[in-house]
Amino acid sequence: MHTVKIERLAAYFSLPIKYESRRRHIQRFLTLFSLSLPVFWFPIIQAIINQEFAHGSRLILTIDRTQWKNNNVFVIAAVYKKRALPIYWQVLKKKGSTNFLEQKALIKPVLRLFKAYQLIIIGDREFC
């Protein structure tokens, strides 16, 4: 796993301003309220899916929750070339499994995003 630090990004950021100003610009960008998964990531993932899958075709989605270090991560992904391509995820503020309302909140935006496809959602026994 690689770690990227803001300081390293600022060193490569090509703006004709001082290093410290570039670092602050990057910090402000990363904390923007409008920088959210649906706004930033959904158009990218939708373009990939539209390019690789014909409208009306079957799209297999997986849903899973995992404890990663101190984070409880809840993810829905598309199966693509024997890999899981993350579509949407949430870091839960609790330990343990999810309930139906949390599962519904994760799936709902993805259903809207891929309404032109036949969706199959696969999950283990935790999911309703």
For the chain, the residue count is: 128
**Whether 114 contacts 88, CB under 8 Å:** no
Same domain, yes or no, for 54 and 109? yes
Same domain, yes or no, for 4 and 64? no
Same domain, yes or no, for 52 and 19? no
Residue 100 lies in a domain: yes
Chunked mean pLDDT (size 10), the chain, 128 residues:
73 82 83 71 90 95 87 90 89 85 89 94 85
Same domain, yes or no, for 56 and 90? yes
Residue 61 lies in a domain: yes
Please state whether the predicted TM-score (pTM) of the whole model is above 0.95.
Answer: no
Same domain, yes or no, for 44 and 15? no
Same domain, yes or no, for 101 and 84? yes
Residue 112 lies in a domain: yes
Same domain, yes or no, for 44 and 22? no
- Return the pLDDT at 31: 75
Cα 50 to Cα 52: distance, rounded to the nearest angstrom: 6
The CATH code of the domain that includes 90 is 3.10.20
Task: Kindly report each contact of residues 93-98 with a partner whose C-beta sits within 8 Å and lies 24 or more positions away, as own/partner.
Answer: 95/67, 96/72, 97/65, 97/126, 98/65, 98/74, 98/126, 98/127
Backbone phi, psi, residue 88, to 5°: -150, 145
Pairing of the two strands 83-92 and 71-80: antiparallel
Residue 127 lies in a domain: no
- Return the pLDDT at 94: 84
- Return the pLDDT at 79: 93
- Return the pLDDT at 67: 84
Number of domains in the chain: 2
- Return the pLDDT at 33: 63
Instruction: Please say whether the dihedral angle defined by the alpha carbons of residues 12, 15, 17 and 22, taken in this order, is positive or negative.
Output: negative
Residues 6+ apart with CB under 8 A from 29: 35
Q: Which domain holds residue 48?
A: 37-122
- Return the pLDDT at 61: 95
At what angle are helices 42-52 and 100-113 packed, to 10 degrees?
A: 60
